[in-house]
Structure 1
């Protein structure tokens, strides 16, 4: 019996370390501490994060399933690159998923405490020259959209939207030059919260779609002016992959 308890405790400890490794590596990918296209090994990550190879391996397996890293035979892993096609795919999926989620959230209703939190996020601003402030804005924006997605009542849908927002955050952290759209985004967020508060699913769906299209246009313009991103990730890309 004691041996069984010890074994169960050891398994739980390994699982917790795997979760810790996953969270740390994933955040470094999103923040571009681990740059798109760079190579990493289990040994490097184990030494730097002060964790054993087993939890690192488990974390990399999960990240590979999510498409954030790619295994390379006998070399380790490559951090997934960012391409213009990726950006188009992300926004296309957001348009498929988020407007219906907003409609469902409005129809289901959101408790007042969470609505007040959404109101608070609506007041969040960023400045293009303030990296820390921009990071805080992106975290708040992620919380805003995932909160609404979860209110749809479909947890799978919420997880998919959260993953897409992680991918967008990663793009911004890579050095995308954003123009300041704080006033417009605050206005769009307020319109969406107001529609949800009124339980108006049709308006909520329309506002969500317009907001995503505006963000797509902003990112498209910024991406085309980001020479570093274009040089690193579009080298040797066929012309048909460069589209918006």
Structure 2
């Protein structure tokens, strides 16, 4: 699916076999995650429908679904807008992320196969290439894929099921975090800890990474609030 917000007709209606409303929802969610629609952006049904080449109904249904996921909120006399992450949102999401990623990393260290580890190393290679070429979209996608793969390496189906409804918002958080070179180095060290087979070392890196990211997002949120005009 295309993520160009200002290109009418760029959305591929025949891209896959999901219901249209689900594909529109996924596209809008990804645009929010990619910061194509930054916080505070009004989501106008007619404009989005024209951009995607669809009717207003799947757009309206998608906006409602994204509101239930926490990506959108409705403001009187303004309509639907992309939500700002509140301090409480950030703290709660990182609480969940810390707990589940530490557990996933511990289990991944003892359960991941050599083939699975090669796949994750390939994701890191993609991230390195995107970093070197300055491709922010590809880098963001690789970073998200890295976190998703850590969950898969745990071979814990229940853990993946519990986290699935939060993945979109966690991806949103991942796009907010700090220096991309530092992030790549952290991911690389985290991966090597998992590949070493040490559950303790893997958990230590997962916790350190999540806590560093939490501090970065806290600072970014504080800066945004400071820049925001007073009511």
How far has the Cα of 1:191 moved from its partner? Answer: 3.5
Decide which of 165, 170, 174 is 1:165's aligned counterpart: 170
Counterpart mapping for 1:133-152 below 5 A: 133-152=135-154
Whole-Å separation in 2 of the counterparts to 1:112 and 1:158: 25
How far has the Cα of 1:15 moved from its partner? Answer: 5.9
2:29 matched residue in structure 1: 26
Q: TM-score, normalised by structure 2?
A: 0.74
Distance 1:230 1:170, change over 3 A: farther
Decide which of 218, 227, 231 is 2:227's aligned counterpart: 231
1:175 matched residue in structure 2: none
Distance 1:171 1:197, change over 3 A: closer
Contact kept, 8 Å, 1:101 with 1:149, in 2: the verdict is yes
Whole-Å separation in 1 of the counterparts to 2:92 and 2:20: 33
How far has the Cα of 1:62 moved from its partner? Answer: 1.7
- In the alignment of these two chains, the number of paired residues is 211
Counterpart mapping for 1:128-207 below 5 A: 132-152=134-154, 153=156, 154-160=159-165, 162-171=167-176, 178-180=178-180, 182=181, 184-207=182-205
Distance 1:95 1:16, change over 3 A: same
Whole-Å separation in 2 of the counterparts to 1:15 and 1:25: 15
Decide which of 17, 27, 30 is 2:20's aligned counterpart: 17
How far has the Cα of 1:75 moved from its partner? Answer: 5.2
2:112 is the alignment partner of 1:110: yes
Distance 1:21 1:91, change over 3 A: same
Whole-Å separation in 1 of the counterparts to 2:59 and 2:97: 31
Task: Give secondary structure in 2 for the equivalent of 1:28.
Answer: helix
Q: TM-score, normalised by structure 1?
A: 0.71
1:217 matched residue in structure 2: 215
Task: Give secondary structure in 1 for the equivalent of 2:189.
Answer: helix
How far has the Cα of 1:59 moved from its partner? Answer: 1.4
Unaligned runs of 5+ in 1: 1-12, 173-177, 237-244
Unaligned runs of 5+ in 2: 1-15
Distance 1:220 1:14, change over 3 A: closer
Alpha carbon RMSD of aligned pairs, Å? 3.2
2:78 is the alignment partner of 1:80: no
Distance 1:161 1:142, change over 3 A: farther
Distance 1:31 1:147, change over 3 A: same
Task: Give secondary structure in 2 for the equivalent of 1:70.
Answer: strand
How far has the Cα of 1:23 moved from its partner? Answer: 1.7
1:240 matched residue in structure 2: none
2:13 matched residue in structure 1: none
Distance 1:144 1:115, change over 3 A: same
Deviates further, 79-88 or 44-53: 79-88
Q: Which entry has the higher C-alpha Rg, 1 or 2?
A: 1
How far has the Cα of 1:147 moved from its partner? Answer: 0.7
